[in-house]
Structure 1
């Protein structure tokens, strides 16, 4: 997995070096996250609301195609029912640094239409910052040592960009992030992936 992540990052870095144009901006997105593909002593317990924020960049290959990446802090939340019981429900928040690499396809620019639409598909390696767990009594405990240092996921999304003036554009879109790897260490007695749907709001300068 680590070799795959390094290879993807290397290819993306190479493409960015030879990019014809670069757009940079800031973004924030609220998200709804959940655990899935759970096995062992726990079952998925339902979604929770999280958030992400950071900087983003589009590195253009041509006028309509760009490699899109971000440097973002993401807090994904969800619920797990330990031993399959809602009486033992655990509310979790997992924090990561995300470095997604995706191909973004955009519609043509038009002087008469300020809107430009896009779709994107890519791969996201995420690096652990930490994690917390909260029980029904409200007690919080760190679970950072129980998490894998790196997780991987696929992302697919789409949206629109609205031109305000020159290169200044507002971005609004939706992204689905599908977890590929177990986020917990094998010693925990269960495994689970984590996925989320996010509303992307940002501005390019």
Structure 2
């Protein structure tokens, strides 16, 4: 029995390897991003606008079936937006502060792509669901790498305001067209919703309670696989 099970396992692994196919490509992703900010009413944290960002990078689709693929890659994407909040200066006067935060993230998507059969000659729809692990590699507040807190008067690096790790849930819908034997082009709309509170400054340094800031974004994915 053990020999039979081992033989079946080896056969399945061989078939899986033989049918597996890897497609590698590049994509660009213009996007509209924003920050979801929440806090108790006395702090008044709120989103105050979105920003246009741009990104792209390497795409890798590992097919484990004709219509199913594990999709990953290595991407560089911009994120951020504007937030407002209420504070008090050292003199006790009220401050209505605003920050325009821009971040660059190095991202590792971990997702599954589901493809339909051809809906037109050489054309298939795809649905992508999963997540992304992200590390910030650059941060600016109000276009500067340093930011002076209007309440304390102290200057800090903009990167001190952002947590060193982020994770997204992602979902996208798109279409893929076969140009040739090994060449495909694709386009789709993707939504990323941040799962990690990226605030590293207000609760840790200023001792604000229950402040939450998370990323969100909608992107247009345009790419080619070879």
Q: Same fold (TM over 0.5)?
A: yes
In structure 2, C-alpha distance between the alignment counterparts of 1:27 and 1:150, rounded to whole Å: 23
Instruction: Please name the residue that 1:38 is paired with.
Output: 38
Instruction: Please name the residue that 1:113 is paired with.
Output: 121
Query: Unaligned 5+ residue runs, structure 2?
Result: 1-15, 88-93, 147-156
In structure 1, C-alpha distance between the alignment counterparts of 2:56 and 2:39, rounded to whole Å: 31
Instruction: Please name the residue that 1:92 is paired with.
Output: 101
The answer as to 2:187 corresponding to 1:172 is yes
The answer as to 2:73 corresponding to 1:56 is no
The answer as to 2:199 corresponding to 1:184 is yes
Instruction: Please name the residue that 2:152 is paired with.
Output: none
- Residue 86 of structure 1 deviates from its aligned partner by 11
TM-score normalised over the length of structure 1: 0.82
- Residue 32 of structure 1 deviates from its aligned partner by 0.5
Question: Aligned-pair RMSD on alpha carbons?
Answer: 2.3
* C-alpha distance 94-22 of structure 1, shift in aligned 2 (>3 A): same
The answer as to 2:111 corresponding to 1:102 is yes
Secondary structure of the structure 2 residue equivalent to 1:182: coil
Count of residue pairs the alignment pairs up: 185
TM-score normalised over the length of structure 2: 0.75
The answer to whether the 8 A contact 2:144-2:158 is kept is no
**Greater strand proportion:** 1
The answer to whether the 8 A contact 1:115-1:162 is kept is yes
Secondary structure of the structure 2 residue equivalent to 1:61: strand
Instruction: Please name the residue that 2:135 is paired with.
Output: 127
The one of 181, 193, 199 equivalent to 2:214 is 193
Secondary structure of the structure 2 residue equivalent to 1:170: strand
In structure 2, C-alpha distance between the alignment counterparts of 1:98 and 1:139, rounded to whole Å: 23
In structure 2, C-alpha distance between the alignment counterparts of 1:146 and 1:72, rounded to whole Å: 23
Query: Unaligned 5+ residue runs, structure 1?
Result: 1-16
Instruction: Kindly report structure 1 stretches of 4+ aligned residues shifted beyond 4 Å.
Output: 84-87
Secondary structure of the structure 2 residue equivalent to 1:100: strand
